[in-house]
Structure 1
Amino acid sequence: MPELKTRWDIFCTVVDNFGDIGVTWRLARQLVAEHSVDVRLWVDDLRAFERLCPQIDINLSQQWQEGVEVCHWPSEWPVTSAADVVIGAFACQLPHDYMDAMAAREQPPLWLNLDYLSAEDWVIGCHGLPSVKYQNVQKYFFFPGFQKDTGGLLRERGLLERRQQFQLSSAAQQQFLQGLGIERACDAQLISLFAYENTGLASWLDTLAADSTPTHLLVPEGRVLGDVERWLSVGELAVGALHVRQALTVQVLPFVRQDQYDYLLWCCDFNAVRGEDSFVRAQWAARPLLWHIYQQDDDIHLDKLEAFLTLYTKGLSTPAAEAISGLWRSWNAGADMAEHWLATRKHEAELQNHAQAWCLEQALQADLATALVQFYVNWI
């Protein structure tokens, strides 16, 4: 892929705390680092961004972070020229003055709507198609996805090799965990929990506590902490809090940067994740996972859940596929988890092998940043 001396503008409105900015920040950095393009990332909520990138100065309207020009998206739009490639992340509405600037260019920019990740079949038919038009500027759909003829998934160069090397080194894992204050017992399974509020959590924690195998549950700061507090019958859980109930140890971790979160996922035997960015990163961890999908009106998110399960469970034995599918469905319904978790545990080895195979299968596709660059090259 040739280097592109082009300028890209990526627009992000923070809707769900960290998911939208997590994806766009990761994409912006990769475009700069691997494709040598100039990127401006426009963000409307720098406080949410600060959690992912602590170096951010929330008081600055413009700053540089890891080669990316980060700009605060103001309520009153400044006079600025339009870029060669314009990405509106997740159907966010661009400022009207900026759209006029796009139309005023001698050569109209490539305008893309980077849509939400989905495994639904219709995505393949819509990926890359024209969308609306503003004056002389045509917008196109761009869908990340798990199948050929979609935009693929975010994956930095060398990611899987770094992950494999880390997972083969007990010393590297121990050093990382100790840096977070985690002392893992040698016989305990390590599980990470990053989720939205969920009424089904108590039944899962009950099952883990009663298990013959000890579990060390790592809970980064986030929305699910309230449910953990209620199960423990304690007040507000602070970072570093450690509680033991029977076979279950619960430990609260700080909200970590994206690169550290990767290492956390790589250390764990099983990862419960939420949203989009952490969902993709858990797949690159090549470990069994549990996805808490973002809830949408009329339960249309459940169609997305089923579409992914249909793809993901291919190649599994029928009992293993039924076990993991039942676990995901009960989790996303806020239902009792006990029966499905115990069924999943019976197929632990098969699910682990399958997670590794799925990771390698997805890595055969072009990554999302490369697919975007190739789309631009083909367009011009």
Structure 2
Amino acid sequence: MVKNQEKVDIFCKIVDNFGDIGVCWRLAKQLHHEHGLSVRLFVDDLSIAAKILTGLRNEEEDMHDGVSIIRWGGATQFTDAADVVVETFACGLPSTYLRQMQVETIWVNVDYLSAEAWVPEFHALSGKHHETNFKRHFYFPGFNEQTGGLLREQDLITRRNGFQQSGDQQSDFWNGLNTAHTNDLKISLFSYANAPVNDFLQSLAEGERQVSVYIPFNNHLPTPLLGNHDLAVGDRIKSGNLTLQVLPFLSQEDYDFLLWACDINFVRGEDSWVRAIWSGRPFIWQPYWQEGNVHLLKLNAFLNGFYAHPYIGRTLTKLHESWSTGVFHHHAWQDYLAKLGAVSEHTKQQSNRLIQQDDLATRLLAFCANSAN
């Protein structure tokens, strides 16, 4: 627990659909359940938040899994400020809340995750807010000890290992989705709208291996998909050696199960990217698109660290760049499949290496404790 700090407020402005709220909700839950803190999560779009927070009521304030979820809008009344205030992704704090803060309030902006070389240099810097003169700390998640770390619950890896070693747990998961548990190569697919999904699926249909692709239903599904319009949850399409299954939108827990159960995971943004790393399974990451191909700089910075390997490094780079530039290359996919065994082994090693580091929530609280001294 943070010394003399027991209350935490987190502010979340939803920009990237589920990524922002996904990260904020994981952090809020972990601070409450593992560190015993009283947490309020202010969210500007409860309709999207409700997709992640199953059962969330559309009210001004709702207690959900021990965390107070509060609608954040122009009419929101702020009567007090917490000991620690977490501004996420530079969303800005409302002026009415700033007026409730004290000089001793610890204000931390938790930024987006990046593997770029500048992150350790900028992590943990601070500056004075231009209106209030309060100190604002800048906290950058990352992949080494000189950064803010990665979100990971204390029992996550134990639960993952138990699931991946249990045929019964995996069968129960697939059965719960009304999905056959086959011996196909299993791929989960969660991408942005500009990913070359149709070209990829057509390549799988014409390939030599039996493949099952599982797509959680979301607003970024291309239309048509394999020539099919108006896809719905539960649809199952068979084309050549490909079986495509549209899953319901999954809870965070069930999405972890999906990642753990599949052989390859296509992920996007930040939250699903980190969860794919913890799955220990091979994954293809699509960063959020930015003008000037800035997202490709972030992509290559990650690949150059996580997948720095003489045998598979170039293969991983080609496939990731193909996926993130919207131009699917069949030969890059075939090269990837040919080296899948080596990719699997290296991914598990890198995941295990990162597991040895303290998680983001633990580091964040240690940072706040140091800042209070």
TM-based fold match above 0.5 = yes
2:201, 2:226 within 8 Å by CA — same for their partners in 1?
A: no
1:195, 1:222 within 8 Å by CA — same for their partners in 2?
A: no
1:201, 1:337 within 8 Å by CA — same for their partners in 2?
A: no
1:5, 1:38 within 8 Å by CA — same for their partners in 2?
A: no
Q: Cα RMSD over matched residues?
A: 1.4
Q: Compute the TM-score of the two structures, normalised by the length of structure 2.
A: 0.96
Counterpart secondary structure, 2:34:
helix
Confirm whether residue 369 of structure 1 aligns to residue 366 of structure 2. no
| Partner Cα distance (2:313, 2:226) in 1 | 32
Unaligned runs of 5+ in 1: none
User: Counterpart in 2 of 1:35?
Assistant: 35
1:291, 1:328 within 8 Å by CA — same for their partners in 2?
A: yes
User: Counterpart in 2 of 1:359?
Assistant: 351
| Partner Cα distance (1:199, 1:141) in 2 | 32
Q: Deviations over 1:240-297 (max 9, x none)?
A: 0000001000000000110110001000000001110000000100010011110112
| Partner Cα distance (1:24, 1:231) in 2 | 32
Q: Deviations over 1:77-114 (max 9, x none)?
A: 31411111011100001111111211xx2x52111111
Residue type of the alignment partner of 2:251: R
- Counterparts of 1:220-239 in structure 2, within 5 Å, are 220-226=216-222, 229-239=223-233
Alpha carbons of structure 1 residues 347 and 4: separation in structure 2 relative to 1, 3 Å:
farther
Counterpart secondary structure, 1:225:
coil
Deviation at 1:2, TM superposition (A): 7.0
| Partner Cα distance (1:42, 1:290) in 2 | 32
Confirm whether residue 128 of structure 1 aligns to residue 128 of structure 2. no
1:5, 1:36 within 8 Å by CA — same for their partners in 2?
A: no
| Partner Cα distance (2:23, 2:225) in 1 | 32
| Partner Cα distance (1:130, 1:3) in 2 | 20
User: Counterpart in 2 of 1:257?
Assistant: 251
Alpha carbons of structure 1 residues 325 and 277: separation in structure 2 relative to 1, 3 Å:
same
Confirm whether residue 267 of structure 1 aligns to residue 261 of structure 2. yes
User: Counterpart in 2 of 1:62?
Assistant: 61
User: Counterpart in 1 of 2:295?
Assistant: 301
* Aligned partner (choices 310, 323, 328) of residue 315 of structure 2: 323
Confirm whether residue 342 of structure 1 aligns to residue 342 of structure 2. no
Deviation at 1:218, TM superposition (A): 0.2
Deviation at 1:117, TM superposition (A): 0.3
Confirm whether residue 51 of structure 1 aligns to residue 51 of structure 2. yes
Counterpart secondary structure, 1:86:
strand
Q: Deviations over 1:348-371 (max 9, x none)?
A: 111001111111111111101001
* Aligned partner (choices 136, 139, 157) of residue 139 of structure 1: 136
Deviation at 1:199, TM superposition (A): 5.1
| Partner Cα distance (2:85, 2:2) in 1 | 20
Deviation at 1:4, TM superposition (A): 6.1
Residue type of the alignment partner of 2:237: H
Counterpart secondary structure, 2:173:
helix
Identity among equivalent positions (%) equals 40
Unaligned runs of 5+ in 2: none
Deviation at 1:61, TM superposition (A): 0.5
